Amino acid sequence: MTRLILASTSPYRRELLQRLRVPFETVSPEVDESPLTGESPAQLVMRLAEAKARAGAGDFPGALVIGSDQVAVCGEEVLGKPGDHQRAARQLAKLAGRRVSFLTGLCLYDARTDAARVDLVPFHVHFRTLDASRIERYLQAERPYNCAGSFKSEGLGISLFERMEGDDPTALIGLPLIRLTTWLNEAGITLP
């Protein structure tokens, strides 16, 4: 069987890939994630997803390697990981009542043939109107300081949303399993 490699150290992506019940290994790809001049968020995540997959293939010449990258965008602003409580509170206050787009770049790189499939899988969330006390209660409960947008949709963060829109809810967490499953089946990894 072809080895499957996840070129990511994200625990969220690892948990998602485990849902497919196929054996895989993880590697930490060394990739400069700085945006290029004039590069749109969509172009950035697709480029980085492929770069991570190719970098992850370095020690696995016959493997299929998954790369993924994600940015959250509100209006024209790219949202980063807040890192601490105060930045998270400011970020959530800014997002209250607004639509946030999560753009996930996905790549499946076949090191056997040097072929890469790359695509963009968007997902959108509409935040409820949030007051300071609700934001504070949420942040104290979940502490999502390492998550772009300052929330964990797979946890209590779902309570902050009015609605969601998109074809693949796993894209919101950072690894679009519907698209990936199609590609894996086409690459010879049989999934139910």
Residue 163, both tokens: 């609605």
Largest CA distance in the chain: 54
168 is annotated as an active-site residue = no
Residue 151, both tokens: 């929330």
The secondary structure of residue 35, as a DSSP letter, is: P
Residue 14: which of 189, 174, 184, 190 has the closest Cα? 174
DSSP-derived 3-state class of residue 58: helix
Beta-bridged to residue 68, according to DSSP, are: 106
The residue from 69, 84, 110, 131 that is catalytic is 69
Secondary element (H or E) of residue 161: strand 161-166
DSSP code string of 81-132: ---SHHHHHHHHHHHTTSEEEEEEEEEEEETTTTEEEEEEEEEEEEEPP--H
- Residues marked active site are found at 69
